Amino acid sequence: MELLHAFTVLITIFVGILGKVCAEADFTQWHPPGPGDSRGPCPALNSLANHGILPRNGRGMTIPILIKGISQGLNVGNDLTIPVGTVGLLASDSLLKLSFDLDDLSKHDELIEHDASLSREDIYFGDNTRFNSEIWQSVVDFFRHDERVNTTAAARARFNRVKVQSGRNPEFTYSAKNMIISYTETAQYLSVFGNPLTGNPRVDWVRTFFEEERLPYNEGWRPPKMTTNLATVTAMTLELILAGGEVLPEGLEVTENLVGKILAGKPIEGIIGNPPIINRIL
């Protein structure tokens, strides 16, 4: 009897959690951050905070808060949020808090933040956190005449950022880990504003996301019905690599296992170092 009771309690808790996770987010309450609110280099977490789907002040991001906000807001799976969120926790000033503030994520290189971002400057030039319209425009130039961002344009725009920054930043770093993380970021915006299998988001939706840190709900966007997960992001990363023509470090095979390990901040034997293309550029 006691066992049955315990089982019922567990199921009730599970259904309660599930109900909360599945409940729809309210996308209509967007406000720009106020004074004292924390924002960081990730346009997705910033946008979710601007909508109040994550805490508006951008502080105290725990794994359960991230799971709920990211799944309701963008339909991104826990197999991505948990490892990336855990690496985010490592950026926090106090590990004991088991949470981070969005600006903690600006810590460079060892964790997630890297050079050659799509919409931020490299740390060498000062501000690697705030949106930079000139840099973002150099990305938009690759698809500004199109209605949708196709994989080839997105891949070329990303790789162009690597080439430009490696030429102008004397302290440019671009390890294999940085490279894969950067690819997964492009895969993520193609997935959540387009389709996790085929990408192809509307250009205006992507621009609203980066330029205003707002989810383009008023313009007709809804979270995709299909979840963006580790498998879909890995497949799209491979497609982007092929489309952009970047040479991978010898022996680097981009598998779900490898991408999962990189996102979880685990050491990757044999791939740490600069991809060969950068050695040619420098």
φ and ψ at residue 20, rounded to 5 degrees:
-65, -45
Task: Pick one of 39, 68, 120, 202: the residue that binds ligand HEM (CB under 6 A).
Answer: 120
Question: Rounded to an integer, what is the distance from CA 94 to the centroid of its chain?
Answer: 23
Could you please report the per-residue DSSP string of 71-90? Answer: HHHH-B-HHHHHHHHHHHHH
- For position 25 contacting ligand HEM by CB under 6 A, the verdict is no
- For position 118 contacting ligand HEM by CB under 6 A, the verdict is yes
Is the CB of 1 or the CB of 20 nearer to ligand HEM? 20
Task: Pick one of 37, 101, 113, 239: the residue that binds ligand HEM (CB under 6 A).
Answer: 113
Is the CB of 182 or the CB of 254 nearer to ligand HEM? 182
Task: Pick one of 66, 155, 230, 271: the residue that binds ligand HEM (CB under 6 A).
Answer: 66
> Is the distance from CB of 218 to CB of 243 less than 8 angstroms?
no
Number of shown-chain residues binding ligand HEM (CB under 6 A) = 25
Centre a 10 Å sphere on the Cβ of residue 145 and count the other Cβ atoms it contains.
8
> Is the distance from CB of 162 to CB of 116 less than 8 angstroms?
yes
Q: Which range, of 41-49, 140-148, 165-173, 267-275, touches ligand HEM by CB under 6 A?
A: 41-49
Task: Pick one of 49, 76, 240, 263: the residue that binds ligand HEM (CB under 6 A).
Answer: 76
| Side-chain-side CA neighbours of residue 148 (13 Å) | 12
Q: Which of 266, 251, 212, 256 is closest to 47 using CA atoms?
A: 212
Task: Pick one of 39, 114, 177, 202: the residue that binds ligand HEM (CB under 6 A).
Answer: 114
> Is the distance from CB of 234 to CB of 255 less than 8 angstroms?
yes
In the region spanning residues 134 to 193, those forming contacts with ligand HEM, defined by CB under 6 A, are: 185, 188-189, 192
Chain residues in the site for ligand HEM (CB under 6 A): 41-45, 66, 70, 74, 76, 81, 84-85, 88, 105, 112-114, 117-120, 185, 188-189, 192
